Amino acid sequence: MGEIKLLDCTLRDGGYINDWNFGHDNLVSVFERLVDAGVDIIEVGFLDERREFDINRSIMPDTDSVGKIFGELDRKQAMIVGMIDYGTCSLSHISPAKDSFLDGIRVIFKKHLREEAMAYCGELSKLGYKVFAQLVSVTSYDDEEMLDLVRLANHYKPYAVSMVDTYGLMHQNNLMHYFNLLNDNLDPAIGLGYHAHNNFQMGYANCIAMLANKIERTMVVDGTIYGMGKSAGNAPIELIAMHMNHELGKDYRISQLLEAIDSNIIQFYTPAAWGYNMFYYLAASNDCHPSYVSYLMEKRTLSVKSINEILEKLEGEKKLLYDKNYIEALYVDYQKNEINDETDRLALGEALRGKNILIIGPGATMESDAVKKKIIHYVEEEKPTVISINYIPKSFRPDYVFLSNSKRYLQLATKLSRTSQTIIATSNLTETTTGAFAYHLNYSSLIDPNTEIIDNSLVMLLKALIGIGVNKVQLAGFDGYSLRASNYIHADMEYDFIRKKVKYLNSYVIDFLESVKDQITVEFLTKSHYEE
């Protein structure tokens, strides 16, 4: 039976959490605890020539920098490796292994780069390094592509080939399919590795499944302290070590790993928590890049059901190669739900034309007693027709509720079913069993496909009102955007992207109001950045 080695990549994969800024004392402490725990292979960070040397960070521009951080430390029997994302560190930044603190280098690459990446691995081998070929998103390989990778590996003969479950998609059946395909075809001198992510909480279980195989070649299993790592995190090395002690006769000192959790790692857990959550579950269950999920969730306009339905439309190679334009097109297409709204527009026009209309928004100023009193006084004195947007005020009952956001509609559905507001909804919304829409407006006719945020709800309602002949409105609770803690009356209404786009969001509405000033008069009853 071949050797079985435990590899820790906390200082590399864990660095995605804190931009590799562990601090020098932590870098040294984690390294020494891993050595004292008896971990076989320790990955000390990334080699990336685009980054300047920083003694506090485990991302370094060249191999010489590794020695500046770790060179005085006692490695004992541990193999020390670094990682290169193929294309980010040229050979000119790599000293020969005899002059380096590193024993090995792991090279990650996507399958379409396998020819040139494996050739690069061959050059690193010539410099004396034990080279690991890390197959990013291994589940994207079909059998023919994997056998082509095997051909390349058998030619360049790296120390090991590792299956990297980048998006945590693997269960034991497909893990063992790739395991057997590689084990049956790789040169016997080449080791076989596995790097897990925990989107399905399968990282530890899959490591156990792999370790249960008795094979002649070397096996390498990755983990990180406390599972610290990118996205849903990694298989926790303290659990893998415990299993290997119990089942494989190893003698890893678990107490050192637990001390590292307490002294070095737990401080990074809050607020940048890693590990299993719904976000990464959605990505893994749809076999797709997590950025597709984050893009849709940041819209804050979609229910989880709708997000899943859009993700199901992803096809082929696009699933794991993130394309913002592609997901935007799917989002817009999903939302359209084209309808003929002519009858509803005519009826809404008859109901609203000539009325004094007050539109209420969910701005943070709506929490102010002074603002509430001002609005209530205006309503009592002027008797306007009140339309609220994607929210229901507590202080008074609007006559109409305009709904354009699926997520907020679902949050309001129960309340709407218990009250008698008339609902004006865009066609991207589907009625629940507890509610009915009095007026249904075509979504695609109200959005602005030529701007970054295509579905601003205020702009959409104003377009609809202009279209039915309304020529004047008052606005209250439309504060516009600022860098304050919350721009909305309820914190859970906040959009994640607002702080990055305050100026753009305000200027977009200001420009829109300017462009329609000859069609509709818009006055502000409460203060707003849209007046600036």
Closest to 344 measured CA to CA, from 429, 411, 254, 438: 438
Tell me: the pLDDT tens digits for 343-358? 999 999 999 999 999 9
Q: What is the pLDDT of residues 9-35, one digit of tens each?
A: 999 999 999 999 999 999 999 999 999
- What is the pLDDT confidence band of residue 450, given thresholds at 50, 70 and 90? confident
Confidence of residue 166 (pLDDT cuts 50, 70, 90): very high
Q: What pTM was estimated for this model as a whole?
A: 0.71
Calculate mean pLDDT across residues 167-194.
96
Work out the average pLDDT over 424-449: 83
Residue 63 has pLDDT above 60, yes or no: yes
Is the confidence at residue 201, as pLDDT, over 80? yes
What is the arithmetic mean of pLDDT over 375-389? 93
pLDDT at 1: 79
Enter the tokens of residue 239.
């659990």
Distance between CA atoms of residues 441 and 429, nearest Å:
10
Lowest mean pLDDT among 14-28, 99-113, 416-430, 470-484: 416-430
Nearest to 114 by CA among 142, 80, 93, 79: 142
Residue 407 has pLDDT above 90, yes or no: no
- Give the confidence band of 449 by pLDDT, cuts at 50, 70, 90: confident
Question: Which band of pLDDT confidence, cut at 50, 70 and 90, is reported for residue 434?
Answer: low
Segments of 180-224 assigned E as strands: 191-195, 219-223
Confidence at residue 495, expressed as pLDDT on a 0 to 100 scale: 62
pLDDT score, position 299: 75
CA distance 180 to 186: 10
Lowest model confidence (mean pLDDT) among 128-142, 321-335, 456-470: 321-335
Q: What is the pLDDT of residue 435?
A: 59
Residue of higher predicted confidence among 361 and 298: 361
pLDDT band at 433 (very low <50, low <70, confident <90, very high): low
Per-residue pLDDT band for 276 (boundaries 50, 70, 90) equals confident
Contact 81, 106 (CB under 8 A): yes
At 431, is the pLDDT very low, low, confident or very high (cuts 50, 70, 90)?
confident
Beta strands in 225-361 (DSSP E): 357-360
Count other C-beta atoms under 10 Å from residue 352's C-beta: 21
Contact assessment for residue 451 and residue 485, using Cβ atoms and an 8 Å cutoff: no
Query: How high is the mean pLDDT of the chain?
Result: 91
DSSP letter, residue 313? T
Give tens-digit pLDDT for 227-236: 999 879 999 9
Question: What value does the mean pLDDT take over residues 73-91?
Answer: 97
pLDDT band at 500 (very low <50, low <70, confident <90, very high): low
Q: Of 412, 407, 516, whose CA–CA distance to 461 is shortest? A: 516
Residues 462, 516: Cα–Cα separation, whole Å: 9
pLDDT at 163: 98
